[in-house]
């Protein structure tokens, strides 16, 4: 018995001590700007040093070597590099070096062009989608697997788009993760390393907002006891331009061409969905989704924006009057505040981009004396789908709807200044077109 125990211990130690240092997932592109770019990668605990080497495309000469100076050799080792001092509208190649040896993994990126005051707004597109579930049978609920065909990411990797915007639920925490800080790190690390996603992650810059499943348990809000840890995990597995203010929330923005995208946080300040919408016939002031701090930021950012298209991204739907589920209009104090603000200041070019619902649709809500507002929902990437039913089956506010199908969205911007056009295409697992809708900048202006 003692010999068997010793042999087991020795074998386990040998496996641990001989594990090869490697890249677990990535590299993944973060924001790419005019003069700098961010690159993300996760390495195994055996890695002692990591560096990034950069050269101009077509010239093998290394122009930058950046050594990672943060902590390594932990259970989870996601890390980020910022490459500065780059030239405008120039393509660079990079490779990851671990423990002094080339890993064989890298990629390329092109810095933005300086078009303002010089050229017409660029024609470009971005991809979007939410609800990405990868099956893990030992932790999944019994029955039919919830995750669908993950080859959708292979189709997305072939797109020539400026960036990807994840609209929440980029990974799905399970019961074993909910109240374990280690479990939150594990879930993000596990799902980020899925092989079929790797080409996509390095094919274009990745931006993200979160929703309940990559924040914590289903439908949870500000009462989540591990919210601080969850925020740290999220910021470690995505490298957005910023993350809230004063250590609160994850909201930020991304500007590309003549589109500003306001990436909101619908969880950090969120009251429980079951809190009463109204008290004694008046909107309940205690029921909030965005919180006062974020709302002030959003309003000031909208006022400051000169973009043709102002896209407000949110994990939950905003407008849908027929939906029985969580949406901003179920938080009437904030909903009314935002709608009144948009009207009072005549903010033009506003559209909402949302996820969560496991179907895709475009909701239109008319406003007397103002241009209509649209809520464009894109979901799901790989998680379960459903059929339109109940009051939503024949939703009179729906302009376009896609149910029972995995899909992603492509937002394309075209046209000359003053006559710009946005085209939204919904695409299936193999990249096939499921539906398309378009709108001009003139249709998003007050008559």
Distance between CA 76 and CA 26 in Å, rounded?
14
CB neighbour class for 98 (10 Å; exposed up to 12, middle 13-18, buried from 19):
buried
Name the maximum alpha-carbon separation found in the chain.
Answer: 86
Distance between CA 323 and CA 391 in Å, rounded?
8
On whether the CB atoms of residues 277 and 324 are closer than 8 A, the answer is: no
Torsion from C-alpha of 260, 371, 362, 307, nearest 10 degrees: -10
Spans of the chain, pLDDT less than 50: 1-17
What lies within 8 Å, CB to CB, of 142 at 6+ separation is none
Distance between CA 107 and CA 91 in Å, rounded?
11
Distance between CA 249 and CA 102 in Å, rounded?
37
Please tell me whether the peptide bond between 4 and the residue prior to it is cis, using omega within 30 degrees of 0: no
Out of 3.60.15.10, 3.60.21.70, 3.40.50.920, 3.30.460.20, the CATH code matching 124-444 is: 3.60.21.70
pLDDT tens figures, 110-154: 999 999 999 999 999 999 999 999 999 999 999 999 999 999 999
Q: Report which of 371, 379, 5 is spatially closest to residue 213, judged by C-alpha positions.
A: 379
Q: In this predicted structure, what is the pLDDT of residue 288?
A: 98
Sign of CA dihedral 334, 222, 230, 195: negative
CA atoms within 13 A on the CB side of 49: 10
Q: Is 190 helix (H, G, I), strand (E, B) or coil?
A: helix
Tokens of 440: 């001009």
Q: In this predicted structure, what is the pLDDT of residue 19?
A: 85
Give phi and psi for 340, each to the nearest 5.
Answer: -65, -35
Beta strands in 181-233 (DSSP E): 206-209
On whether the CB atoms of residues 146 and 140 are closer than 8 A, the answer is: yes
CB atoms closer than 10 angstroms to residue 140: 17
Provide, for the chain, the percentages of residues in helix, strand and coil under a 3-state DSSP scheme, each rounded to the nearest 5.
20, 30, 50
The domain ranges of the chain are 20-110, 124-444
pLDDT tens figures, 286-338: 999 999 999 999 999 999 999 999 999 999 999 999 999 889 999 999 999 99
Task: Write out the H or E segment, with its range, that includes residue 81.
Answer: strand 78-83
CA 271, chain centre distance (Å):
22
Residue 4, CA distances (Å) to 1, 7, 9, 12, 378 in order = 5, 5, 9, 12, 55
Q: What is the pTM of this model?
A: 0.95
DSSP 8-state class, residue 317: B
Give phi and psi for 22, each to the nearest 5.
Answer: -155, 170
What lies within 8 Å, CB to CB, of 431 at 6+ separation is 155, 156, 158, 159
On whether the CB atoms of residues 378 and 408 are closer than 8 A, the answer is: yes
Residue 32, CA distances (Å) to 127, 379, 437 in order = 15, 26, 28
Query: Over the range 247-268, which residues count as b (16 or more CB within 10 Å of their CB) and which as e?
Result: eebbbbbbebbbbbbbbbbbbb
CA atoms within 13 A on the CB side of 246: 4
CATH architecture of 20-110: Sandwich (2.60)
CB atoms closer than 10 angstroms to residue 424: 22
Tokens of 34: 């005019």
């Amino acid at each position: 018995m003692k010999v068997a125990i010793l042999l087991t211990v020795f074998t386990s130690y040998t496996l641990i001590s001989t594990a090869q240092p490697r890249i677990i997932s990535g590299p993944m592109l973060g924001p790419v700007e005019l003069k700098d770019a961010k690159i993300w990668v996760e390495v195994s605990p055996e890695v002692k040093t990591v560096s990034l080497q950069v050269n101009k495309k077509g010239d093998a000469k290394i122009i930058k070597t950046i050594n990672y100076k943060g902590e390594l050799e932990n259970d989870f080792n996601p890390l980020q590099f910022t490459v500065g001092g780059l030239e405008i509208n120039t393509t660079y190649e990079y490779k990851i070096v671990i423990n002094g040896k080339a890993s064989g993994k890298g990629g390329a990126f092109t810095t933005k062009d300086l078009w303002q005051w010089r050229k017409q707004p660029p024609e470009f597109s971005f991809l979007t989608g939410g609800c990405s579930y990868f099956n893990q049978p030992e932790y999944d609920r019994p029955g039919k697997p919830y995750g669908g065909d993950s080859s959708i990411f292979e189709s997305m990797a072939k797109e020539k788009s400026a960036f990807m915007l994840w609209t929440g639920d980029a990974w799905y925490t399970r019961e074993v993760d909910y109240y374990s800080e280690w479990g939150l790190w594990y879930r993000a690390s596990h799902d980020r390393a899925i092989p079929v996603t790797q080409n996509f992650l390095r094919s274009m810059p990745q931006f993200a907002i979160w929703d309940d499943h990559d924040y914590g348990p289903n439908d949870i809000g500000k009462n989540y006891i591990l919210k601080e840890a969850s925020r740290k995990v999220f910021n470690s597995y995505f490298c957005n331009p910023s993350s809230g203010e004063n250590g609160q929330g994850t909201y930020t923005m991304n500007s590309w061409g003549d589109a500003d995208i306001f990436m909101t946080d619908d969880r950090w300040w969120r009251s429980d969905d079951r809190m009463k919408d109204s008290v004694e016939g008046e909107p309940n002031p205690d029921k909030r989704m965005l919180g006062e701090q974020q709302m002030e930021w959003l309003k000031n950012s909208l006022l400051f924006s000169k973009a043709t298209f102002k896209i407000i991204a949110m994990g939950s739907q905003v407008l849908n009057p027929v939906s029985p589920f969580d949406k901003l209009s179920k938080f009437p104090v904030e909903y009314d505040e935002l709608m009144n603000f948009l009207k009072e200041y005549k903010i033009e070019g506003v559209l909402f981009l949302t996820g969560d619902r496991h179907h895709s649709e475009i909701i239109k809500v008319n406003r007397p004396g103002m241009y209509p507002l649209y809520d464009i929902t894109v979901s799901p990437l790989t998680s379960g789908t459903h059929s339109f039913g109940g009051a939503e089956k024949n939703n009179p506010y729906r302009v376009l709807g896609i149910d029972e199908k995995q899909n992603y969205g492509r937002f394309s911007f075209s046209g000359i200044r003053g006559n710009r056009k946005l085209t939204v295409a919904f695409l299936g697992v193999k990249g096939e077109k499921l539906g398309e809708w378009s709108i001009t900048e003139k249709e998003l202006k007050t008559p």
